[in-house]
Chain A
């Protein structure tokens, strides 16, 4: 029987590494183009909710669910329990996706 090998999907970093990069960038913001841009909307909509969106091309190839899990993990490290309670939306978007969702951002900017 021939050997069928599905090569491991190329991923620059694993989930925990991605989370660490986000946490580091959140605590020590830079303007480097390949670093994640963290958009925090603390008064989203009518419910006083907080939305956290991380715009980063490293998300390529990951599902929204996987990305959201990593963003929430980062939120848990950076935010207080009180702040965390208000986070209703945690998303990871590539730059193209962020443009499609009309999310206002630019590198280095924190909303």
Chain B
């Protein structure tokens, strides 16, 4: 056995893999919100260090998680409950309600922006409180959708600082108003 294999096999015996550890934790609203916050700051660190594409990539995920956790909260998922049990079926059913949205994939920010407005409406909690509005949620989601999607990882980084500014601006807006989305 090579020295590297020995080290790896010793590690496996000593502690569970990262996958084992993370998959044992339920993906709750609280977990998503904590992960979003972490990804946002990690994204900002990367952007400031000049790693534009990587920073954008993490920030997009942060926004996706804020929007999804807001939808879950509107659907009365408790902070300690599994979000997907409720969100997954709603996503599958409601995504058909938006014929104008081309990208209906599970990570489509444009779709999730629409879903957030729709779910808020159905939940009967009233209009968003200023300065947030359904229009601003849709605009922000669409703008970010133009700069972030999961498959962007298959491309070499060609992001400019203007792309970074745009994503950072929109992500910061989502972060600031995350509570207003469901309250």
Q: Which single member of B44, B47, B131 contacts A48 (CB below 8 Å)?
A: B131
Q: Is the C-beta of B30 less than 8 angstroms from some C-beta in chain A?
A: no
Q: Is the C-beta of A25 less than 8 angstroms from some C-beta in chain B?
A: no
- Closest Cβ of chain B: how far from A38's Cβ, in Å? 17
Interface on chain B toward A: helix, strand, loop, or mixed SS? helix
Size category of the A interface is: 20 to 34
Q: Cβ of B164 and Cβ of A47 under 8 Å apart? A: no
Given A88-B173, A101-B48, 10 more contacts at CB 8 Å? A44-B169, A45-B169, A45-B173, A46-B143, A48-B131, A51-B169, A64-B45, A91-B44, A101-B47, A102-B165
Nearest B residue to A87 via CB reads B176
A69 to B151, CA, bound (A): 33
- Closest Cβ of chain A: how far from B136's Cβ, in Å? 6
Q: Cβ of B139 and Cβ of A46 under 8 Å apart? A: yes
Q: Is the C-beta of A97 less than 8 angstroms from some C-beta in chain B?
A: yes
Nearest B residue to A49 via CB reads B173
Interface contact tally, CB-CB below 8 A: 53
Interface code B33-44, partner A: CB below 8 Å = 1, 0 otherwise? 000000001001
Contacts of B177 in A (CB 8 A): 88
Given contacts A88-B176, A101-B161, contact A64 B170 (CB under 8 A): no
Q: Cβ of B169 and Cβ of A89 under 8 Å apart? A: yes
Given contacts A47-B131, A47-B136, contact A64 B164 (CB under 8 A): no
Q: Cβ of A49 and Cβ of B44 under 8 Å apart? A: no
Q: Is the C-beta of B72 less than 8 angstroms from some C-beta in chain A?
A: no
Q: Is the C-beta of A73 less than 8 angstroms from some C-beta in chain B?
A: no
8 Å CB contacts to A: which residues of B155-169? 161, 164-166, 168-169
Q: Cβ of B173 and Cβ of A64 under 8 Å apart? A: no
- Closest Cβ of chain B: how far from A111's Cβ, in Å? 14
